[in-house]
Amino acid sequence: MYPCSSTTLERPLLQEQLAVRYQVMKAKWQNFLPSAVRMQLNGTDSELVAAVGYFNQRQALVQQQAHNLRDEIRDRVTFLELQAQILFERVTFDEKELQEAIRIINKDVPRTNRDLSYYQGEGSGNLLILRDILITYAAFHPEVSYAQGMNDLCSRFLEVMDCEVDSFWSFSCYMEKFAKDFREDGLHRKIELEAALLKELDPQLHLHLVTDNLECFTFCHRWLLLGFQREFEHSDALRLFEILSCDHLELISQQVDRARYQERLAQKFCTDTECESEMQAVNTDFTFELFICAAILLDNRDTLLQCQDDVQLIQFTSSLQGTLDLNSTLKKAECHFFNYCKRCAWDSMNCRCRAHNSKGEDFLYQLRSLFVLR
């Protein structure tokens, strides 16, 4: 949530500014829909009823702490509030759409993993904090709003950071990259990419699973959307979420971008046909999470080849929940990732060598230049 260029001295001031902005944003939708400030309960969920009580106590404590601020701090906060109010003054809400988002959030929040100690006992009040974060996000991001599954993603930030403000801004930054996965065409795009990658890695298994509209791959969409949350033990799932979020093994990383820039410089000496063939050598949409998914599929290849319908595929998916070993899966996914990159590099090298050999250029020179670029 902090700019990469920020310093240690700047970050406390940035956090103070972000905290005030969040409170102003939350107050804006609460004033717009006063009836949505408190979660409506039917009384059958005693734990949730208790959670509301814990939440109200916590809110009263926060308000008391704000009232006890020193004068100089209060003046600074007042100035930041004025800035935030001006910043969000022109933001308007669609009442119908926001109410619909809140309706879905009210259903999903109680379904968040309540087996976690973070949401048990007095910690159950954290469910209401999660609700406020999700509603605030939906209100100020109408192009995304809220979709089922976002509660599980946001819950990870809240559990680890244990801070409402930090969790909101971290979740918002995360969604800048992954919000497209929750849009209408997100499901098809993810499935299409996974099918294309599996076709590269194992054409036979791909042929067995694929249909004309890729319906058979919908069983692994939840893995991709939620970062394999239920397939690994919880602490391992959090670790994997961090690995996938850091873009270390990605075909879109900064190091790869620099290599492609050098390659584009070299391609000015190529013909249009050669350039086109090399640019298509690597599919940069194959993110590392797709290789994780492929590793799981390939590791269960025999079982999948025996599946004959969607029911059996769903049963297979359910059987994996909480059973996978993260270290083993990561090792296999990395292996598939590097093999894919090596194969693409080899195909590109063959293409280059054929082209340059026809011009009488030295093979070893071209080989050396290829690995420098890669």
DSSP 62-84: HHHHHHT--HHHHHHHHHHHHHH
Q: Assign 3-state DSSP to the chain and report helix, strand, coil percentages, each to 5.
A: 75, 0, 25
**Cα–Cα distance, 336 to 315 (Å, whole number):** 26
Q: DSSP of 233-246, one letter per residue?
A: -HHHHHHHHHHHHT
Q: What's the pLDDT at 277?
A: 45
Intervals of CATH 1.10.472 along the chain: 186-373
Task: Tell me if the pTM is above 0.75.
Answer: yes
| Share above pLDDT 90 across residues of the chain, in percent, rounded to a whole number | 47
Let me know: does 182 contact 150? Beta carbons within 8 Å: yes
Q: What's the pLDDT at 256?
A: 54
Give the mean model confidence (pLDDT) for residues 321-335: 94
Q: Which of 112-116, 227-231, 335-339, 356-360 has the lowest mean pLDDT?
A: 356-360
Give the mean model confidence (pLDDT) for residues 330-337: 94
Let me know: does 199 contact 176? Beta carbons within 8 Å: no
Let me know: does 154 contact 48? Beta carbons within 8 Å: no
Domain 186-373, CATH number (from 1.10.472, 3.40.50, 2.60.40, 1.10.3470): 1.10.472
Q: Is the pLDDT of residue 35 over 70?
A: yes
293: which residues sit within 8 A by CB, 6+ positions away? 194, 220, 223, 224, 228
Q: Which of 85-99, 134-148, 303-317, 336-350 has the lowest mean pLDDT?
A: 336-350
**Structure confidence at residue 296 as a pLDDT band (50, 70, 90):** very high
Residue type at 359 in one-letter notation: K
Per the structure block, which two tokens stand in for 139?
Answer: 């209100």
Give the mean model confidence (pLDDT) for residues 125-148: 96
Give the mean model confidence (pLDDT) for residues 75-79: 85
- Maximum CA pair distance of the chain? 82
**Structure confidence at residue 361 as a pLDDT band (50, 70, 90):** low
Q: For 205-236, how does the pLDDT look when each residue is reduced to its tens digit (9 = 90+)?
A: 998 888 755 567 888 888 888 889 889 999 99
Q: Which of 79-88, 175-184, 195-204 has the lowest mean pLDDT?
A: 175-184
Q: What's the pLDDT at 144?
A: 92
Cβ burial of 41 (10 Å; 0-12, 13-18, 19+) is middle
Cα–chain-centroid distance for residue 322?
Answer: 20
Q: For 271-286, how does the pLDDT look when each residue is reduced to its tens digit (9 = 90+)?
A: 555 444 444 456 778 8
Q: Which of 78-87, 127-136, 195-204, 205-214 has the lowest mean pLDDT?
A: 205-214
Cα-based distances in Å from 213 to 106, 181, 188, 193, 314: 33, 18, 9, 13, 18
Give the mean model confidence (pLDDT) for residues 325-334: 95
19: which residues sit within 8 A by CB, 6+ positions away? 165
